[in-house]
Structure 1
């Protein structure tokens, strides 16, 4: 049992205001830049900024004390002691006070004249079916951007997955770096409306839900029969907001298939979404990839096909 410590109001505020980025770095945690936020490399669903955190899988968040309690499984006194140090005077720096940020209007990045890199990346690296990719490109749901760095010395090439509202106006954009080596960039364009993330509307009474656009395309590549009739949405994360928007736009929906990642964050998000859907009278079923995600399943299938083909050529 943790020892009772009568923390002062000042100590409570200081602990709650600890800069989580600095706190995590000092404790050996790896962080990934995600817009103005940082994501935990060990759990991409958690973002931090200053002393605040948010778990997009559970849709919970708060300040430094609640983060330490949840992430490290500590009691309130132990979390306070960790943040303040043994002398309770303050071991870690306090986050700078947030300055109000002007809302940045949503704007898609400029489009490149060539789609060659997008096709090369998605067809060769990600094994997406060509006809499926063609269908999304024709609807202007996918294009290639070419953006220059601020100093004009570099060019950045990204696949952009566009989300339109019901009036055909682009409201959301998700970028994926077109680099075949290392960990490529991925993230939502600033100002994107999460309600209108990347999706395809076929019009029937079924909806398939994914975390990432590439997983959506991978699933269709794996199960192409009659796919144009169904509805698909990629949440570009694990938020329920895009799913609820699909329910609003598609009152005919009767069955939702939750096809999120095969990991702790994906399972938790699926359970949360299933509860929301069932409360609204919609049947929800979880479809789980064999690997970590549907693109891993697609690539594994392509490798198996190549191996079978090679064996056939050798022994047939």
Structure 2
């Protein structure tokens, strides 16, 4: 393999994929939200917060090098030369630090304006979410509807310990659009909290999965208000060797709740979800007990909820179908 000095490799690694594609192949980028994109060639390859992830293949990374090697099939040496040969050194230092918004997207956080909340709540009810839970969360201002370019969305708000909104995830009521409000701080994900005393926190990839868990708990006769639920707003890619950063939202939640007694991970029951759960558990378990509890049926907790509801309607429901969602 031709020799490339370590300083050159380090410079090349600092090039994030978004910056690379904006300069070299801007037609390959399709914007899907205020700070998120996908590629035109691979519509399941998403870019957000300085990272990329190819969902259909279960691979991802941060740098353009990772993309050129894993997706384009280049050798590592060719990928480095491709980047360093085309970009001056100042441009190669634009990758944002973990858990911080990219500098070119940095702006004051603003909640999407409310519009069409009734339609948004009806959409969530069609996903099986309990109406009483939705009404209470809407009253608290953390679940509501918004419109953008005539598209109806549902908004899930994350607040800090003072109750100030700091984050909002946005989910289209029709289609696959998912994004975040400009200026969102991923440390403060959508959460439903039990107040006071030692607690366990149930962790999910999405707000809809968290709401699905609360609904399942209520179906079994439990009081969903006694639960502490946290949405990560997605999962980090697991690198070679199982390395992964603990998601910002979980790190912040544990810092804000020093009496937390256990973390229970209900991530998706697919390759990326299982890999992320194992990696996160390995990083967190030295500090606090961690349980891995994927949904018993379907890809995610919402799939499991819909299966339970279908079973109830058809007379097939049994308590054991709630395994993994207690």
TM-score for both structures, normalised by structure 1: 0.73
Matched, 1:107 2:101: no
Unaligned 5+ residue runs, structure 1? 150-154, 310-316
Shift of 1:194: 0.7
User: Could you report, residue by residue, the CA deviation over 1:156-215 in whole angstroms, capped at 9, with x for unpaired residues?
Assistant: 321110111111111111111122xxx232111110011111001113511000011001
Q: Tell which deviates more after alignment, 208-217 or 257-266.
A: 257-266
Q: What's the counterpart of residue 170 of structure 2?
A: 175
Q: What's the counterpart of residue 37 of structure 2?
A: 38
Q: What's the counterpart of residue 238 of structure 1?
A: 235
Q: What's the counterpart of residue 287 of structure 1?
A: 293
Shift of 1:135: 2.5
Q: How does 1:293-308 map to 2 (within 5 A)?
A: 293-308=300-315
CA contact (8 A) 1:161 1:198 kept: yes
Q: How does 1:1-316 map to 2 (within 5 A)?
A: 4-5=1-2, 19-20=20-21, 33-39=32-38, 47=47, 53-55=51-53, 60-62=61-63, 64-71=64-71, 75-77=75-77, 79=79, 101=104, 103-112=106-115, 115-124=117-126, 126-147=127-148, 149=149, 155-179=150-174, 183-203=175-195, 204-224=198-218, 225-239=222-236, 240-280=247-287, 282-289=288-295, 290-308=297-315
CA contact (8 A) 1:58 1:269 kept: no
- SS of 1:279's equivalent? coil
In structure 2, the CA distance between the partners of 1:205 and 1:7, relative to structure 1 (3 Å rule), is closer
Shift of 1:128: 0.8
In structure 2, the CA distance between the partners of 1:102 and 1:232, relative to structure 1 (3 Å rule), is closer
Larger Rg: 1
CA-atom RMSD, angstroms? Answer: 3.9
In 1, the alpha carbon distance for the partners of 2:29 and 2:70 equals: 18
CA contact (8 A) 1:157 1:178 kept: yes
Unaligned 5+ residue runs, structure 2? 95-101, 237-246, 317-326
CA contact (8 A) 1:164 1:197 kept: yes
In 1, the alpha carbon distance for the partners of 2:192 and 2:298 equals: 24
Shift of 1:74: 5.9
In structure 2, the CA distance between the partners of 1:257 and 1:250, relative to structure 1 (3 Å rule), is same
User: Could you report, residue by residue, the CA deviation over 1:74-114 in whole angstroms, capped at 9, with x for unpaired residues?
Assistant: 64246569x69xxxx99xx99xx6796373100012123x5
